[in-house]
Amino acid sequence: MNARVFVNLKPGVLDPAAKAVQGGLHSMGFDEVQSLRLGKVIDLKLEDRPDAEERLKAMCEKLLANTVIESYRIEIGD
Amino acid sequence: MNARVFVNLKPGVLDPAAKAVQGGLHSMGFDEVQSLRLGKVIDLKLEDRPDAEERLKAMCEKLLANTVIESYRIEIGD
């Protein structure tokens, strides 16, 4: 089975990398960019298990996301 | 309008960061992980423009993705 995990900074956490990208786009003339957020996406291929979702959540909590400053969202595919 | 850009390494490009994450998961007992890819996701809020998609493509080509080693995919929302 396939799964996808999105990891994003929580609202309110400063994101200087996103500000730099936005500034770069503005200086290149892309003034229509009003806001920009950078996140990570992790695509996993997993052995089928009945408790796959629970274990994915554990992977996020323990390694994939820093839950102090990041939130995560799990999408399970086929 | 909102748009989302996915940036991934092209197939065949070495991804040591993904290997490190996969190794970490294995050493924590998550042996069901068969493969893992790391990507970036960029969420943008844009002023409405008729040529928005074309300009997003230009942003990707010029700044958001390194097209030598990365591919990108644009999703336009509402």
**pLDDT per residue as tens digits for the range B37-59:** 999 999 999 999 999 999 999 99
Q: ipTM value of the model?
A: 0.88
Closest CA–CA distance from residue A42 to any residue of chain B (Å): 5
pLDDT tens string A13-49: 999 999 999 999 999 999 999 999 999 999 999 999 9
In chain B, which residues have their Cβ closer than 8 Å to the Cβ of A50?
Answer: none
Q: Count Cα atoms within 13 angstroms, Cβ side, for B29.
A: 3
Q: Which fold has domain A2-76?
A: Mth169; Chain: A , (3.30.1280)
The mean pLDDT of B15-41, rounded to a whole number, is 97
pLDDT for the residue numbered A61: 98
SS3 B51: coil
Please tell me if residue B74 touches chain A, with a CB cutoff of 8 Å: no
Sorting pLDDT into bands at 50, 70 and 90, what band is B78?
confident
Task: Report pLDDT for B61.
Answer: 98
C-alpha–C-alpha distance, residues A42 and A47, integer Å: 16
What's the pLDDT at A78? 73
pLDDT of A53 above 80: yes
B32/A42 CB distance under 8 A: no
- Residue A47 has a pLDDT of 96
3-state DSSP call for residue A73?
Answer: strand
- What is the SS3 string spanning A9-71? ECCCCCCHHHHHHHHHHHHCCCCCEEEEEEEEEEEEEECCCCCHHHHHHHHHHHHHCCCCCEE
Q: Domain boundaries in chain A?
A: 2-76
Helix and strand element counts for chain B (H, E): 2, 3
Task: Say if A63 is an interface residue toward chain B (CB within 8 Å).
Answer: yes
What percent of chain B shows pLDDT beyond 90?
97
